[in-house]
Structure 1
Amino acid sequence: MTETENPETIRYTADVVATLGLFVLLIKRGWPPFEGAWALPGGHVDVGETSREAAARELREETGVLVDPGDLRQIGVYDAPDRDPRGRYVSVAYAVEVPEGTIAQAGDDAADVRWWPLSDLPPLAFDHADIIRASIHAQ
């Protein structure tokens, strides 16, 4: 990097593929970008927490679903430069199978929450369809 170049700002996030049998938990985004679109629960990693801890916290805040961070299985790291229109976001994605009878309800930043059949997903925000596919193939 030369002296005239500015380093790129990178934001660190975590996403969660929470499944219940053949269903995946999605939130309807209540804010831009992709306001009104379906997406995986997730968000920024806070100061002092790991991406795994952030994933469990975001899942709880956005859907009310509680999981132990240790139960989250890492799927991969998603860092394509154009994956988010707000700028450069690097996300660590996790998967977790939740117990039968798990109830989800829209919380922090989520306009709605729903269990969607993996075989009939709506159009998804960001690269979340790729993350879900990777999760399914990793099982």
Structure 2
Amino acid sequence: MPIQPLKLRSASRSTTGSQETFAIPAQARKIVPAVSVAVVRRKTVLLVKRARPPSQGLYAYPGGKVEPGETLAQAAARELKEETGLEARNYRPLREIHIDGSGENHAVDYLLTVFGALYVGGEPVASDDAETAAFYTLAEMAEMPLAGDVFSVAEDLLGPAQDARR
């Protein structure tokens, strides 16, 4: 049976001043594979403060889109190197998260695979995608503006801390 083209029955429209935006129905959005990597160094985890959408201004794990021909683990290693200059080892997938792009009026959703990895060496340097890149404890993270599941992933990796509640 041939695949039928998707017919858009409706899209919501809103106007703000002279800007007009259209919300694209979920069934019309493409799902893009993406990765992030939580690098552990002793009892800390690497975070970047995002300089661009999505999650601009929030702290998150370094990551991005998977490029054609890459495995998820290769993409995680590449994104870590590009965004922080660091390398890690023992990459392992921790969880998958569906990110609905409609909240920021994107035509795509992301299927994010979050990896855990072990720190190898060096100091993180933020790239143009990030304002800062540094290692943080759970107690520090509890006071920071974090994206999505960042805190719960860190707790899974480091274990719950008595003085860190979110």
TM-score by shorter chain over 0.5: yes
Correspondence for 2:118: 97
Residue 96 of structure 2 corresponds to residue 77 of structure 1: yes
Instruction: Give the C-alpha shift of residue 10 in structure 1.
Output: 0.6
CA distance in 1, matches of 2:40, 2:140: 14
The number of residue pairs the alignment matches comes to 134
Give distance in 2, aligned partners of 1:93 and 1:41.
10
Q: Distance in 1 between matches of 2:148 and 2:62?
A: 12
Aligned in 2, Cα 1:76/1:84: closer, same or farther, shift over 3 Å? farther
Contact 1:17/1:132, CA 8 A, preserved across alignment: yes
Structure 2 residue matching 1:67: 3-state secondary structure: strand
Rg larger for: 2
Normalising by the residue count of structure 2, what TM-score does the alignment of the two structures yield? 0.69
CA RMSD between the two structures: 2.6
Q: Which has the higher strand share?
A: 2
* C-alpha distance after superposition, 1:16-72 (max 9, x if no partner): 01010111110011112332221110000001101110000000110110135xx20
Work out which of the residue numbers 131, 144, 151 in structure 2 matches 1:129.
151
**Structure 1: stretches of 5+ with no match in the other structure:** none
CA contact (8 A) 2:35 2:114 kept: yes
Partner of 2:24: none
Structure 1 residues 82, 129: closer, same or farther in 2, change over 3 A? farther
Paired residue for 1:4?
A: 7
- Structure 2: gaps of 5 or more residues: 9-26, 160-166
Larger relative contact order (C-alpha < 8 A, sep ≥ 6)? Answer: 1
1:61–1:108 contact (8 Å) kept in structure 2: no
Q: Which of residues 62, 76, 80 in structure 2 aligns to 1:55? A: 76
Quick one: distance in 2 between partners of 1:37 and 1:56? 21
Distance in 2 between the 1:59 and 1:75 partners?
Answer: 16
Distance, in Å, in 1 between the alignment partners of 2:94 and 2:31 is 20
Query: How many percent identity over aligned positions?
Result: 30
Cα displacement (A) at 1:125: 1.7
The AA in structure 2 aligned to 1:132 is A
